[in-house]
Structure 1
């Protein structure tokens, strides 16, 4: 989600210009954890859509989508999505980041409910998870839902 564009460059959400550059360079797709997971899924014979909307009216694009099985997969970053195991509140600009992560988590919950209401399943894979184990878990669900 973009930062508040009404702020002047002197009132940036970042604590320093270096932090700002670093945050702006973060990828929204094709991250290392996502690529490793996709490679593991492909090796298991699964085919999928990348960065696709599971539902046409939902603003969300899932990282990996299995349309026939109605399964969407999100690979979540521990910081950006408030991982219960690894998220640590930043010391710099903590008020901004606490609100930002809270909004991300609320959006994640809202998207999961919208998918569930449409008989879709959202599988969350955290960036710290083993991609092979995650791929095995996803494969079981996708194959089971395809035959149901």
Structure 2
């Protein structure tokens, strides 16, 4: 029995509208980087995993991950759905596997990789310090 308050068709439509680029958390990270005077490239398709932000000068890639979709360990937003587990569990596992594969490929190519979790974009000052640290700038 499902505990969802909307019909399966409506839930399917809602889920299909979720964006993969230019999400609110990604826009926050981009805004903080811009405020810091940093310049970056977006969604470089020539790099494994198509990183959200790429800093070529620093050989740094930033992925902005949604806590639910990319299974942020220990995060309250990375809950497991209660219905259609036969669909959700493999899908979410594949996301994690794909993330790890892309990160490993980037590391092999000599890039640094930083994951910014959606829940970490709530505090801009902490985010700013994380970015400074990743770039090797004074915090």
TM-score range, shorter chain: 0.7 to 0.9
Inter-partner Cα distance in structure 2 for 1:43 and 1:109: 30
Look up the match of 2:131: 138
Displaced runs of 4 or more, over 4 A? none
Query: Which of the pair is proportionally richer in helix?
Result: 2
TM-score, normalised relative to structure 1: 0.79
Alignment deviations for residues 25-60 of structure 1 (CA, whole Å, 9 cap, x no partner): 0011111111111111100110001122363xx3x2
* In 2: Cα distance, 1:22 partner to 1:143 partner: 40
Distance 1:125 1:35, change over 3 A: same
Instruction: Name stretches of at least 5 consecutive residues in structure 1 with no aligned partner.
Output: 1-14
Alignment partner, residue 73 of structure 1? 62
Q: Work out whether residues 68 and 79 of structure 2, in 8 Å CA contact, stay in contact via their aligned partners in 1.
A: yes
Residue number among 37, 48, 73 corresponding to 1:45 in the alignment? 37
1:79-119 CA distance string (max 9 Å, x none)? 10011123111011112111101000000110110011111
Q: 1:116 aligns to what SS in structure 2? A: helix
Give me the CA root mean square deviation.
Answer: 1.6
> How do residues 1-148 of structure 1 correspond to structure 2 at under 5 angstroms?
16-53=8-45, 55=47, 58=48, 60-84=49-73, 85-86=75-76, 87-129=78-120, 130-143=123-136
2:114–2:134 CA contact under 8 A, matched in 1: no
**CA distance, structure 1, for counterparts of residue 46 and residue 61 of structure 2:** 7
Give the count of matched residue pairs: 127
Looking at structure 1, the residues matched to 127 and 115 of structure 2 have their Cα atoms a distance apart, in angstroms, of: 9
TM-score (norm 2): 0.84
